[in-house]
Amino acid sequence: MNTTLKRGSAAIVGVAESDLGEVAAGMSVIDLMAQGVHRALADCGLALADVDGVFAAAGQSRMPSTALCEYLGLKPRYQDCTMMGGSSFMTHVAHAQAAIELGLCEVAVIAYGSTQRSAGRKNVAPREYNPYETPFRPVLPASAYALAASRHMHLYGTTREQLAQIAVAARQWALLNPVAWEKEPLTVEQVLAARMVSHPLTVRDCCLVTDGGGALVMTSAARAKTLRKPPAFVLGVGESISHQTISNMADLTVTGAARSGAQAYAMAGLKPQDIDVVQVYDAFTITTLLFLEDLGFCPKGEGGRFVSDGAIAPGGRLPVNTNGGGLSYCHPGMYGLFVLMEAVRQLRGECGERQVAGCETAIAHGNGGVLSSQSTVVLGSASTI
């Protein structure tokens, strides 16, 4: 697909969260999507009447694009509810870029909503029965990531303390984000002493369980330049599906991010060392570590040593997950949309205390399932075009 999509042909021009954390009783997934769309349109100065493309995914909605169109009164020319878990939204960006290039739509919204915290996670995310896994009672998804961590620790000597450093860095960034769920500092000792979910991952190695949603607005590069805020141009996209169940992942220490990232870098004409800010889906501490390796920010096996000593925390040598991530900011179940949002805001320079100086390029990497689907978007400011 990268042979046909054009670098910088479309841009993300509007971003907004819906209400986050624990939302008002009775709020629905589509209420949150609609809040996100209205706010994201206001962010870029467009109106519902401009929208002719609708993209949506949600764990709690079987037909989210139709539900959202009914709610907002939209009759789009083009719609897509690609569902591959938390990486769906990066793929929506790629598909929206393709649709915009082809003239199938001009202004696309990409929306997500979840009420998993207020509705109760067991009620909203029933897991499919798998006769080859369910009898063994893995705590999914955590046990799948724990198995990957066991393998990384075995092969490379990665330690629980190094994984904990990732949670601590995320918390330090979250303390700079006024809308982050977590408000208190966190230490390595606290991560290690927290309740064990699936060894070696404690509850502090695991993402939050919150409500939340939001939306992005995308349009053509030409139209993007006429709007209120600096566009985040889509420089490169890539995606990879490697398995569905953890027992069918070929090598638990190498994710599909290696492939999706390579595709996105190739289309963007950039290398890891050209990226100013890194946003990766941190469902678990091990996820951040694997993606830093697979996206080329450190060699395979070096992730544990790489994240030590505050390297990815505020003031460190590589800014990673500057909103506080799924570990400390917000995690409604399919977190990929928020990864993209933070990348856009960093490129715009509107991140306040947590702003990375001189941010012109960003990578936004999404993960779905149990390291199953990987989708990468490289974004750039006008200076990269």
Q: Which two tokens stand for residue 67?
A: 């539900």
Please tell me whether residue 218 binds other proteins under the rule CB under 8 A. no
The single residue listed with the structure tokens 């349009």 is 219
- Report H helices in the chain: 29-44, 64-72, 88-102, 116-119, 121-124, 142-156, 160-174, 188-193, 221-224, 257-268, 285-294, 303-307, 325-328, 336-348
Please tell me whether residue 143 binds other proteins under the rule CB under 8 A. yes
Please tell me whether residue 151 binds other proteins under the rule CB under 8 A. yes
CB 255 within 8 A of CB 290: yes
Out of 196, 222, 269, 317, the only residue in the binding site for other proteins (CB under 8 A) is 196
Please tell me whether residue 138 binds other proteins under the rule CB under 8 A. yes
Out of 66, 150, 159, 190, the only residue in the binding site for other proteins (CB under 8 A) is 150
CB 336 within 8 A of CB 281: yes
Q: Spot the catalytic one: 78, 112, 145, 281.
A: 281
265 is catalytic: no
Site track 266-305 with other proteins (rule: CB under 8 A), x = hit: ----------------------------------------
Q: Which two tokens stand for residue 322?
A: 């500057």
SS3 346: helix
Q: Spot the catalytic one: 78, 145, 156, 329.
A: 329
Q: Of 9 and 247, which CB lies nearer to other proteins in the complex structure? A: 247
- Euclidean distance between CA atoms 170 and 211, whole angstroms: 19
Torsion of CA 155, 279, 180, 289, to 10 degrees: 0
Stretch that binds other proteins, among 147-155, 202-210, 261-269, 324-332 (CB under 8 A): 147-155
Q: Of 134 and 226, which CB lies nearer to other proteins in the complex structure? A: 134
Please tell me whether residue 137 binds other proteins under the rule CB under 8 A. yes
CB 229 within 8 A of CB 349: no
Please tell me whether residue 193 binds other proteins under the rule CB under 8 A. no
Please tell me whether residue 133 binds other proteins under the rule CB under 8 A. yes
Short-list 279, 356, 259, CA closest to 315 = 356
- Euclidean distance between CA atoms 162 and 269, whole angstroms: 32
CB 282 within 8 A of CB 327: yes
Out of 26, 62, 136, 357, the only residue in the binding site for other proteins (CB under 8 A) is 136
Out of 190, 247, 308, 355, the only residue in the binding site for other proteins (CB under 8 A) is 247
Q: Which two tokens stand for residue 18?
A: 């819906």
14 forms beta bridges with: 217
78 is catalytic: no
Site track 92-131 with other proteins (rule: CB under 8 A), x = hit: ---------------------------------------x
Q: Is 111 left (phi over 0), alpha (psi -120 to 50) or beta?
A: beta
Out of 154, 228, 271, 317, the only residue in the binding site for other proteins (CB under 8 A) is 154
Out of 215, 246, 267, 340, the only residue in the binding site for other proteins (CB under 8 A) is 246
Please tell me whether residue 77 binds other proteins under the rule CB under 8 A. no
Binding site for other proteins (CB under 8 A): 131-133, 135-139, 143, 146-148, 150-151, 154, 196-200, 245-248, 252
Question: Could you list the active site residues?
Answer: 281, 329
